[in-house]
Structure 1
Amino acid sequence: MAYSPLSSSSTRGELIDPWPIDGTQFGYVNVDAFFAQLRSLSTSFTDEQRTNGPWILVTSVDEQAFKCIQDSHHELLDQWSILYNPVDYTISTKMESFFHGTLAMAITRWLDGKLTTMGLNHEVVFTGTANHALFVLDRAGQKINNDVGIPKIVRKRADQTVHPFIVQAPRTMKWPSLVLEVSYSESRAQIGEDLRLWLQNSEGEVKFAMAAFVTNQSKTIFIEEWKLRTRAGTQGQLRYTTECTQTMSIEKPRSDGGPKITGSFRIPFDHLLLRQPTAGETDFDMSQADLCQIAAQVWRSQSIGDAWRQ
């Protein structure tokens, strides 16, 4: 594990960076070793938050080797974008499935459409996968230090962040009001931990923590809100956790019917814009038609992934 220092006017600590942000490379040995290396990277990227992460270069991949990778139908092929260059026998790959990227963009378009309908798109800034430095915190909310007493910091990239363009003092533009985390293969528990760091580090300035999931087998989609909660520990001290407080889901339609939709989902107006709504302004409700449109885009992306693997 490599470490690199990070300091600014607001944070100072040791940056945990399991793989260099500008990528790494390794030589191809065989198909089993290739996927073992990707699986190792998948674990290491927990703190890189996966989306739009570093490109990895794999060298010495002849055409027969690449065909073996394609023909393996390995589960990781749904989680990594893989581009093959037959001229110099290299693979460029990064951890971002078509499902993951499409779902993040579909939700962004949905929210931007709602804002535009109310004439509010000029009041927010979508900052996408910009880096944020977050302290590593234990369940009690205390900073975790390295061996020499320096607080550990992780570089986090949400799948989307939204900043109100106008904020009232003492609040600054440092923190977004909404954070979106998307997962295709990552566990819900890990997403909950990621959102806990956002909510705790921002000290309440992140008002809405949103998660979206695509299940691996059925491709069911879940849209959720998670909130920070406290509970008493064994010694009576407060411990922080996150819990899901609203869920809306859609199951892929079977041959004999349409999609199955359950639950509801709403982003309160004041949580996003940090002010009360005026005439003609409302909360951001996701209708069943909205969710169907989002899901259709995600499910169609499977054909793109299949085409890349042919």
Structure 2
Amino acid sequence: MADDILREEGLPATTPRYQYQGVKQCLRCFELELERYDREGQHGDGLYVIFDHVDDRSFQECFEDDSAESLLVDSLATYNFISHTIVLKMPPSDVHEAAHRAFSEIFSTWHRGQESRLVPTGDAKVEGFTRKKKPDSSWKTSIHIPGRDVKWPTILVEAGWAEPMAKLKQDILFWLRESEQQVKVALTIQVTRRESVTIKQWVLDETTRSSVKPIQTMHITRNRDPRLNQHQISGSMRIPFEDCFLRAKRGNESDFVLSNEDLTELAEAVWYCLPE
């Protein structure tokens, strides 16, 4: 069971792990891991912390009651109510926030220019078949479609800074598989210490339904040579209007295209926040 949770969440075996013994113990242990995470330079296997044996009543008390500790509530990444396991994530870094928020600004400029609007739902928690989970950014269509569960976002973003792609892929797998592909557009933004930013769109691998595969990739690497005024960019990103709004285009409505200028703007916001 322990290995199953690590695999499902894409986490290494060295991830800190505790047996849940109440709210106070959970908070104390998480604060100790937070201190260690800050002391070690905000990298390594301490980005996430696992607590086992958290039943539904304990989860309610710890994370959903009005009196719940805000540090724990804000740090919740996943609650698996099948295995009774919670995964907490360290408070987001400037780099992480810059990545998905810069994308959100670019994307919002586009969708506000269409005839109708998408509803921004941010990091709202969603309950699937096995887990409750929060994305980094998300949007929903504003129209009601028969048979579609309104709890699922139409498009979402998961951002990662100095964390393995395996974790991001497992996050995306949850959204696509447990929504039964009602999530139409699932994106990752990965930032590396080598000053590169990669954006990928993922779909469910229909041959196995237990993995995801990228269908679009756009990548930028920082160029520090003062003689050159451009960064190295590869790939392209076009998201059909219909996948976001779940209806056909009208009039002058358009697909979302992430241009080289957009990607550069996003990357420069991220690089500004990178530690020296």
TM-score (norm 2): 0.70
Of 191, 210, 213, which residue of structure 2 is paired with 1:240?
210
Q: Aligned pair in 2 of structure 1 residues 46, 158: CA closer, same or farther (>3 Å)?
A: farther
Deviations 1:218-263 (A, max 9, x none): 12001110110133xxxxxx55210111100111122232201100
Deviations 1:78-130 (A, max 9, x none): xxxxxxxxxxxxxxx9431111101110000001001123344xx21111111
Q: Aligned pair in 2 of structure 1 residues 155, 36: CA closer, same or farther (>3 Å)?
A: farther
Of 148, 173, 181, which residue of structure 2 is paired with 1:204?
181
- 1:99 is aligned to 95
Instruction: Determine if the alignment matches structure 1 residue 195 to structure 2 residue 172.
Output: yes
Instruction: Determine if the alignment matches structure 1 residue 131 to structure 2 residue 125.
Output: yes
Cα contact 2:124–2:134 (8 A) shared by 1: yes
Of 189, 196, 201, which residue of structure 2 is paired with 1:220?
196
Compute the displacement of 1:31 (Å): 6.6
Cα contact 1:18–1:44 (8 A) shared by 2: no
Q: CA RMSD in A?
A: 3.5
Written as runs of structure 1 = structure 2, the 5 A alignment for 1:130-169 is 130-135=124-129, 153-169=130-146
Compute the displacement of 1:55 (Å): 3.0
Report which of the two structures shows the higher radius of gyration computed on alpha carbons: 1
Q: Which amino acid aligns with 2:121?
A: T
Instruction: Determine if the alignment matches structure 1 residue 43 to structure 2 residue 65.
Output: no
TM-score (norm 1): 0.63
Compute the displacement of 1:176 (Å): 0.8
Of 71, 82, 94, which residue of structure 2 is paired with 1:55?
71
Cα contact 1:198–1:206 (8 A) shared by 2: yes
Instruction: Determine if the alignment matches structure 1 residue 112 to structure 2 residue 114.
Output: no
Deviates more, 1:276-285 or 1:33-42: 33-42
Deviations 1:178-227 (A, max 9, x none): 12110012211221111111111111211111111101x21200111011
Count of residue pairs the alignment pairs up: 222
Deviations 1:142-167 (A, max 9, x none): xxxxxxxxxxx333110111101112
Written as runs of structure 1 = structure 2, the 5 A alignment for 1:58-77 is none
Compute the displacement of 1:134 (Å): 2.8
Separation in structure 1 between the aligned mates of residue 273 and residue 41 of structure 2, nearest angstrom:
26
Q: Aligned pair in 2 of structure 1 residues 279, 252: CA closer, same or farther (>3 Å)?
A: same
**Which secondary structure does the structure 1 equivalent of 2:167 belong to?**
helix
Cα contact 2:37–2:46 (8 A) shared by 1: no
Unpaired runs of 5+ in structure 2? 1-17, 53-68, 73-88
Unpaired runs of 5+ in structure 1? 1-16, 48-52, 57-92, 136-152, 232-237
Q: Which runs of 4+ in 1 moved over 4 A?
A: 17-23, 26-41
Q: Which amino acid aligns with 1:268?
A: P
Compute the displacement of 1:294 (Å): 1.0
Q: Which amino acid aligns with 1:117?
A: G
Compute the displacement of 1:18 (Å): 7.8
Cα contact 1:177–1:206 (8 A) shared by 2: yes
Q: Which amino acid aligns with 1:190?
A: K
Q: Aligned pair in 2 of structure 1 residues 98, 32: CA closer, same or farther (>3 Å)?
A: closer
**Which secondary structure does the structure 2 equivalent of 1:55 belong to?**
helix
Separation in structure 1 between the aligned mates of residue 213 and residue 51 of structure 2, nearest angstrom:
20
Q: Which amino acid aligns with 2:210?
A: Y
Separation in structure 2 between the aligned mates of residue 32 and residue 230 of structure 1, nearest angstrom:
38
Cα contact 2:177–2:209 (8 A) shared by 1: no
Separation in structure 2 between the aligned mates of residue 261 and residue 46 of structure 1, nearest angstrom:
41
Q: Which amino acid aligns with 1:97?
A: S
